[in-house]
């Protein structure tokens, strides 16, 4: 029996109430639950779905949704011999990535959004999107998905509800979050929750056939930080549709964290275990294409060292009553970029994808398995590409879309920590910031204190092509790796980092470091081997935490003595090692000018301590 047949069907397309037309709504009472039902009624009256289903998060429900999508041609079931329980989705070519140009922060005041966000006045943007949502779910099922970021009821967790007309989004949310009636009990008991609404914007007329990937050319992703809402229209892809991810867990959560005294960060979270079994917890913020997932699933090349994965993308950090910083990974799954993920770069990620995975926009092999660029060194002789067309290595185009994805439960990662989803989280020992810098930034440096660390985080950047050729040219700024994801004025966000640091005991606050795996020599060659050998940098950081090695003061921060780096088993020429830590005063002074230029875009809102750090940097450079 098809899942749709289990729903109560209305007798007309007139606006209806959730209490009249629903499937699976649990009989949970409480003021919070009544408010939720009232809200669902309002959205149903606006979007006029044919039916409403309350998602319970069960395996049977998920399997039924997947079977129905296969029957409708929206998913391809992969060969169970190679990928049991796995599926391939192909999106419309116009719907393949985050739509940042159509992503808005609708705060009451424009200055609260800041210059790095697209701002819209709340009343104006509501007047724009409300007509788009009117009738947008006609002919479709409206799913009500209660979800928790972090363990349900946990001290660091937050919950939300997503309304969506996309079964693909429902199954993805089921992987990425904790979905179920336990969340509804939290709401019924009075727990606050975030409202999120999503429609692919493709209503169906009676008798009209659906398409494999419904979407709309008109797209909006609108965040209302003052009322803790997200409204997404027109896209069925990734973070545009899985609103618990970037929209809630970063943009809205950053606002909640600002108001409650904690941090929602675009950070991986790992546990590093030394040969003696001592454990250290590290969070790291890297922009895209800077080795974030590889570090999250690092397999050290140093004998005796281990890394356990706690999270690969988002971390929520809170000062604890003990003066330490505590962190959780609020997600339950990995939503990773497939191209470039292979056994030579990230074997742990490849092993995680053995089954129970939803792939999107990768290539299909003749044997019913999947492939993407970087999965193997040699591509198969023939494939079906991400758009459903025949492909061979001679085709002259990628087989998988560059932003193709996999969605898989974190629990499948072979090196996931046993307590990765502990409600109380883990105490942080170190925070790393890094970008892709061919010049200037050394392999690793330590901040002198928390304020200096915030200064480093505010200046994360990657060099564009001209800079990669050896000069400090235009920098692509991505402060704290949060530029697309901060839900309020980024200068105020810098100030919030400073404020949070004041809630930590100076001797228990995580130490802050900057790393750069991507520095190049004059010949354009990478100077550091990277990948598993990045554990050698972690080794030095750990010894700094333990106080067993000294650091060398410099104009830009504390640097290692090269003899303190564990280079056993690898060949890094002496001249390369020197270049990895070389500081060119003239280049750094030019970079300081670029930092001043960047700070001035915030119209005087950058906190005074960061201006003081910039002045101190210039002073030290001029005296060097």
CATH number of the domain enclosing 301: 3.90.228.20
Write down the pTM of the prediction: 0.94
| Cβ partners under 8 Å of residue 123, min gap 6 | none
Give the burial string for 379-394 (b: 16+ CB within 10 Å, else e). Answer: bbeebbbbeeeebeee
Max mean pLDDT among 2-11, 17-26, 290-299, 398-407 falls in 398-407
Domain boundary among 207, 241, 260: 260
Does residue 243 share a domain with residue 115? yes
Residues 363/391, Cβ–Cβ less than 8 Å: yes
Residue 83 in any domain: the answer is no
For residue 85, tell me if it sits in a domain. no
Task: For residue 550, count other CB atoms closer than 10 A to its CB.
Answer: 12
Give the whole-angstrom CA distance, residue 192 versus residue 158. 8
Give the span between the Cα atoms of 579 and 443, in whole angstroms.
9
pLDDT in tens, 449-459: 999 999 999 99
Residue 321 domain flag: yes
- 290 tagged catalytic: yes
Point out the domain boundary residue: 412, 447, 479.
412
List pLDDT tens digits, range 189-248.
999 999 999 999 999 999 999 999 999 999 999 999 999 999 999 999 999 999 999 999
Last residue of a domain, one of 239, 260, 281: 260
Give residue for tokens 């020197």.
578
Question: In angstroms, what CA-CA distances link 547 with 297, 419, 551?
Answer: 26, 28, 10
Same domain, 201 and 108: yes
Q: Which pLDDT does position 564 carry in this prediction? A: 97
CA contacts within 13 A on the Cβ side of 575? 5
User: CA 162, CA 180: separation in Å to the nearest integer?
Assistant: 12
Same domain, residue pair 486 and 608: yes
pLDDT at 466: 34
Catalytic residue among 215, 247, 290, 486: 290
For residue 254, tell me if it sits in a domain.
yes
Q: Comparing C-alpha atoms, which of 515, 437, 526, 443 is closest to residue 475? A: 437
Neighbouring residues of 526: CB distance < 8 A, sequence distance ≥ 6: 518, 519, 520
**pLDDT tens digits, one per residue of 520-541:** 999 999 999 999 999 999 999 9
Regarding whether 406 and 477 lie in a shared domain, the answer is no
- What rounded mean pLDDT belongs to the chain? 93
Q: Is there a domain that residue 82 lies in? A: no
Give the burial string for 458-489 (b: 16+ CB within 10 Å, else e). bbbbbbeeebbebebeebebbbbbbbbbbbbb
Q: Percentage of residues in the chain with pLDDT exceeding 70?
A: 95
pLDDT of the residue at 27: 85
Do 167 and 277 reside in the same domain of the chain?
Answer: no
pLDDT of residue 9 exceeding 90, the answer is no
Q: Which residues contact 597 (CB under 8 A, 6 or more apart)?
A: none
Residues 281, 180 share a domain? no
Answer whether residue 270 shows pLDDT above 70: yes
DSSP reduced 3-state for 206: coil
Among the listed residues 247, 273, 59, the one whose alpha carbon sits nearest the alpha carbon of residue 164: 247
Per-residue pLDDT of 567-606, as tens digits, reads 999 999 999 999 999 999 999 999 999 999 999 999 999 9
405 pLDDT higher than 90: yes
Q: Are residues 407 and 364 in the same domain?
A: yes
Q: Average pLDDT of 266-271?
A: 98
CA distance 287 to 267: 9
Expressed as residue numbers, the domain containing 214 is: 3-73+97-260
Confidence of residue 472 (pLDDT cuts 50, 70, 90): very low
**pLDDT at residue 309 is higher than 80:** yes
Q: Is residue 397 part of a domain?
A: yes
Residue 45 resides in a domain:
yes
Higher-pLDDT residue of 236, 5: 236
Question: Residues of the chain with pLDDT > 90: what percent?
Answer: 90
Question: What is the Cα–Cα distance from 61 to 222, expressed in whole angstroms?
Answer: 30
- Would you mind telling me the total number of residues written for the chain in this entry? 624
Residue 278 has pLDDT above 60, yes or no: yes
pLDDT in tens, 10-62: 333 334 454 444 567 788 889 999 999 999 999 999 999 999 999 999 999 99
Q: Is 278 helix (H, G, I), strand (E, B) or coil?
A: coil
Question: What is the reported pLDDT for 291?
Answer: 85
Number of domains in the chain: 3
Q: Is residue 79 one of the residues assigned to a domain?
A: no
Q: What is the domain-level CATH number for residue 374? A: 2.170.8.10
Looking up residue 117, the CATH number of its domain turns out to be 3.40.449.10
Same-domain pairing of 361 and 473: no
């Amino acid at each position: 029996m098809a899942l749709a047949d289990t729903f109560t069907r209305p007798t007309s397309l007139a606006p209806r109430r959730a209490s009249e037309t629903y499937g699976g709504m649990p009989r949970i009472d409480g003021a919070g639950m009544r408010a939720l039902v009232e809200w669902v009624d309002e959205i149903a009256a606006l979007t006029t779905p044919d039916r409403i289903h309350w998602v319970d998060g069960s395996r049977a429900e998920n399997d039924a949704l997947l079977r129905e999508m296969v029957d409708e041609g929206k998913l391809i079931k992969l060969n169970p011999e190679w990928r049991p329980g796995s599926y391939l989705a192909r999106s419309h070519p116009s719907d393949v990535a985050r739509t940042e140009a159509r992503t808005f922060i609708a705060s009451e005041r424009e200055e609260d959004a800041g210059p790095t966000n697209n701002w819209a006045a709340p009343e104006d943007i509501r007047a724009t999107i409300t007509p788009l949502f009117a009738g947008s779910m006609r002919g479709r099922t409206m799913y009500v998905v209660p979800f928790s970021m972090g363990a349900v009821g946990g001290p660091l967790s937050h919950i939300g509800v997503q309304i969506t007309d996309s079964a693909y989004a429902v199954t993805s949310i089921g992987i990425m979050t904790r979905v179920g009636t336990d969340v509804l009990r939290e709401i019924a008991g009075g727990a606050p929750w975030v409202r999120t609404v999503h429609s692919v914007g493709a209503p169906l007329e009676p008798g009209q056939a659906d398409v494999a990937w419904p979407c709309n050319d008109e797209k909006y992703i609108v965040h209302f930080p003052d009322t803790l809402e997200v409204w997404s229209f027109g896209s069925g892809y990734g973070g545009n549709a899985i609103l618990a991810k970037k929209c809630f867990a970063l943009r809205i959560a950053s606002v909640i964290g600002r108001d409650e005294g904690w941090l929602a960060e675009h950070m991986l979270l790992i546990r590093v275990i030394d040969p003696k079994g001592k454990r250290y917890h590290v969070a790291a913020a890297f922009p895209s294409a800077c080795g974030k997932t590889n570090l999250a699933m690092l397999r050290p090349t140093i004998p005796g060292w281990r890394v356990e994965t706690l999270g690969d993308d988002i971390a929520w950090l809170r000062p604890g009553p003990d003066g330490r910083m505590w962190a959780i990974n609020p997600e339950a799954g990995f939503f990773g970029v497939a191209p470039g993920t292979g056994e030579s770069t990230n074997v742990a990620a490849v092993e995680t994808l053995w089954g129970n995975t939803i792939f999107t926009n990768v290539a299909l092999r003749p044997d019913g398995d999947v492939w993407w660029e970087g999965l193997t060194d040699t591509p198969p002789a023939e494939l079906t590409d991400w758009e459903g067309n025949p492909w061979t290595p001679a085709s002259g185009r990628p087989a998988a879309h560059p932003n193709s994805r996999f969605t898989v439960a974190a629990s499948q990662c072979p090196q996931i920590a046993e307590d990765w989803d502990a409600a109380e989280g883990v105490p942080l020992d170190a925070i790393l910031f890094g970008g892709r810098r061919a010049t200037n930034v050394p392999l690793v440096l330590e901040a002198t204190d928390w304020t200096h660390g915030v200064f480093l985080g505010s200046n994360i950047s990657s060099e564009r092509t001209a800079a990669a050729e050896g000069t400090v040219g235009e920098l692509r700024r991505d402060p704290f790796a949060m530029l697309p994801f901060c839900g309020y004025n980024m200068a105020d966000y810098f100030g919030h980092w400073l404020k949070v640091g004041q809630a930590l005991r100076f001797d228990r606050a995580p130490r802050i470091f900057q790393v750069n795996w991507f520095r190049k020599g004059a010949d354009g060659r990478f100077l550091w081997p990277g990948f598993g050998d990045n554990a050698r940098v972690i080794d030095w950081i750990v010894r700094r935490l333990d106080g067993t090695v000294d650091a060398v003061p410099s104009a830009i921060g504390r640097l290692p003595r090269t003899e303190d780096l564990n280079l056993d088993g690898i060949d890094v020429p002496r001249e390369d090692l020197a270049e990895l830590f070389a500081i060119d005063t003239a280049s750094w002074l030019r970079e300081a000018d670029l930092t001043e230029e960047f700070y001035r875009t915030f119209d005087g809102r950058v906190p005074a301590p960061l201006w003081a750090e910039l002045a101190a940097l210039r002073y030290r450079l001029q005296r060097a």
